[in-house]
Structure 1
Amino acid sequence: MRELLETRSAGLVGRDGAAAELESLLRAKRLVTVVGPGGVGKSALAAQVAGRLLDEPWAAAGTADLAALDVPGLVPHSLARALRIDGSPALPQLPALAAEIGRRPVLLVVDTCERLAEECAETLEQLVEACPALHVLATSRIPPAAPGTFPLAPLAPDSAVPLLTSAAREAGAPDDPDPDLAYRICASLDGLPLALRIAAGQLAHREADDLLTLIGRPGQLLDLPAPMPELPHRLRTLRGSLCWSVRLCTPGERLLWARAGVFTGPFTRADAVTVCADDRLPPDDLAVAFDGLAAHSLITPVPSGSGAFRMSAATRAYGKQMLELLGEDAEFRRRCLAHCLQEA
């Protein structure tokens, strides 16, 4: 397990404060889920914190990645297998697992809970309640309906620049990028660690100013590979990461994502209703979809507190491509322009 955690947390930069806070929260609450958008570094942070705790006298420790699991009833089986625990065959799997753990100190890392978010939340909550020395650190793109969440946001530019620079060196870049250009690259990529690592890979054979020009065309950025072959397939490109998020969305959320891609800057819920609502997506359905996209971190509040939200450049580019496939791009670009002119 130690080697796996070290591999997953390798190259984590700019998260020292978050790691310390997460460790403290895990010790206090015993069940904590790291929540945030794809590519923000949830798995790496969880792995680093779990790695710090491994030297403590756990009776058992294990990690379960639920990315490939699509049968809700098998969640307890996956957790038992991760901990190498065989419960009594006379009991259902969850009570058997809880009975086997009992009061023993156990550390469990559960990665990629979003596909079965409700089942995972219920299972983990029941286990922690039944097992007073069990500590569970989970990750999910979707906030669980349970206490103990740890929101993980992208890096601020000042923290993102060291990640870009160190990742570029690892990728073989001949020189460190100019600090001003590095800052602008990080800001353009919204501080998302996966996007920063993809950009760093490009610095091995591009000048920083050329890369900044490329980032200005985010549709082309979607398919560039991250120089980290150990990453799961869904995280090797921004398109792969966003495709995973699409699979987690409802039809209404997908439709709003596509249509809201026409906004080039922050937009409010009222803006979204004016531009994106129609018979296929009535205002009430749109409101539900809006909340869903926010829960998935596909739209994020603007820090000013104005009630406005924004999409990252990559998320917006992916949405625009979905809108083109729907054949609705011209119509909703026209509606957005008309709305902006009216508001000006």
Structure 2
Amino acid sequence: MAGIFDREEGCAHHKCPELIGRSRESAQLAVVFQRSRLVTVVGLGGVGKSALVAEAAERVARTGTTVMAVDIAVLSGTEQVFQAIGRTAADQEQLLVVDNCDHLLAPAAAAVGQLLASFPGLRVLVTARRRLGTAGEQVLPLAPMRLGDAVRLLALRAHQLGVPLADDEEDRVTAGRICLRLDCLPLALGLAAGRLPDLSPRELLVQLSETGGSLDLAGLGPDVPCRHRTLRHCHGWSHEQCIAQERLLWARLSAFGGTFTRTAAEKVCQDAQLSRATVASAVNGLVGQGLLEHVNGRPELLRMPRTVQDYGAEWLARLGEETRLLERVLMWSRGLL
């Protein structure tokens, strides 16, 4: 399948406007897919994994290669996963897209592994919040959009709703702040644009700055899956896929409210429930799902996306640990831990 990702100039952006600013990631996917028959695009919920893979699959289909797709999100058990994925296989050269594997990751990994072993002409593109762990898998982490591209996407979504954003300096700055408040997540930008028929950009920014404001942005319609109707639903879906130690650490790390080191995470968050080694392992798990980000490419330096932090802070308060963790963060900042 060499060459199947060669781009036709302009076609992706013309047919998939949601991929504004993703040309670099699209090229990276093309390179990675030449190295392996199995590529998993991983990242935070709402970051645009499905859209990136759909654009790649569309280009493959135009080469005449058979493309089949399975959406795991609509399935409810191991047997359904094996049946749905198994029905797609064929002896000829083929691309299989396996989308939204999060809640049935293990059976999806097993089914994909069996198919790849049985059909040498098969290649597979997967989307999930974390890697499958299948032999031969190549992983492509997908980060949030760059700020300038996020502003362009917000403007496009607003225009599609009949609300052109003004091109003056004040609105450009406000749009940039909205994008940063929403972690430059494509899903969140679409939800935010849906508020612009009723709110000015300045009013929207104020609303997003209120407690829970970003998490409460809502999208309606019969085609919107439940997990994408609000950012709270989106991050809640991620929360459900985390193991218990990752969920607890997610809540505790929300107390930092900014950049911190792995060492700081271990010192502040460890206790009888989370040993230092467990914290270190859970940090890696959260990084692997895009729930924590490396800062400037430095593995030791971390930050939690703002909306992810908002969701974690709600859980920290629910667990009754907010005061204790804020005190420990303060002690750490003063060198007392």
Please state which band the TM-score falls in when normalised by the shorter chain. Answer: 0.7 to 0.9
1:80 and 2:86 equivalent? Answer: yes
Whether the aligned pair in 2 keeps the contact of 1:189 and 1:195 (CA below 8 Å) is yes
1:167 and 2:157 equivalent? Answer: yes
Aligned partner of 2:22 in structure 1 is 15
- How much does 1:27 deviate? 4.8
Task: Describe the SS at the equivalent of 1:307.
Answer: strand
Distance 1:53 1:228, change over 3 A: farther
- How much does 1:122 deviate? 3.4
Aligned partner of 1:320 in structure 2 is 313
Deviations 1:38-92 (A, max 9, x none): 000011111111112223333x4321111143433442211134x3xxxxxxxxx
Aligned partner of 2:115 in structure 1 is 127
Aligned partner of 1:91 in structure 2 is none
Letter of the structure 1 residue corresponding to residue 48 of structure 2: G
CA distance in 2, matches of 1:165, 1:218: 25
CA distance in 1, matches of 2:27, 2:159: 27
Letter of the structure 2 residue corresponding to residue 155 of structure 1: M
Task: Describe the SS at the equivalent of 2:335.
Answer: helix
Q: Which one of the candidate residues 67, 74, 81 is aligned to 1:61?
A: 67
Aligned partner of 1:89 in structure 2 is none
Task: Describe the SS at the equivalent of 1:220.
Answer: coil
Aligned partner of 1:90 in structure 2 is none
- How much does 1:330 deviate? 1.5
Q: Which one of the candidate residues 52, 63, 69 is aligned to 2:59?
A: 52
Whether the aligned pair in 2 keeps the contact of 1:9 and 1:45 (CA below 8 Å) is no
Letter of the structure 1 residue corresponding to residue 192 of structure 2: A
Aligned partner of 1:275 in structure 2 is 268
Deviations 1:238-293 (A, max 9, x none): 00111101111111111111111111111112211222111122222222222211
CA distance in 2, matches of 1:53, 1:307: 38
- Once the two structures are superposed, the pairs formed by residues 131-210 of structure 1 within 5 Å of their partners are 131-146=119-134, 147-176=137-166, 178-210=171-203
CA distance in 2, matches of 1:332, 1:248: 24
Aligned partner of 2:10 in structure 1 is none
- How much does 1:20 deviate? 3.6
CA distance in 2, matches of 1:227, 1:169: 18
Give % identity: 38
1:264 and 2:257 equivalent? Answer: yes
Q: Which one of the candidate residues 321, 335, 344 is aligned to 2:328?
A: 335
CA distance in 2, matches of 1:142, 1:261: 20
Letter of the structure 2 residue corresponding to residue 72 of structure 1: T
Aligned residues: 320
Task: Describe the SS at the equivalent of 2:126.
Answer: strand
CA distance in 2, matches of 1:295, 1:57: 34
Unaligned runs of 5+ in 1: 1-5, 84-96
Distance 1:117 1:303, change over 3 A: same
1:37 and 2:37 equivalent? Answer: no
Whether the aligned pair in 1 keeps the contact of 2:255 and 2:326 (CA below 8 Å) is yes
CA distance in 1, matches of 2:336, 2:166: 43
Q: Which one of the candidate residues 303, 309, 314 is aligned to 2:302?
A: 309
1:234 and 2:234 equivalent? Answer: no
Distance 1:22 1:218, change over 3 A: farther
Whether the aligned pair in 1 keeps the contact of 2:86 and 2:111 (CA below 8 Å) is no
CA distance in 2, matches of 1:160, 1:106: 34
CA distance in 2, matches of 1:305, 1:271: 15
Distance 1:181 1:282, change over 3 A: same
Task: Describe the SS at the equivalent of 2:47.
Answer: coil
CA distance in 1, matches of 2:235, 2:213: 14
1:296 and 2:289 equivalent? Answer: yes
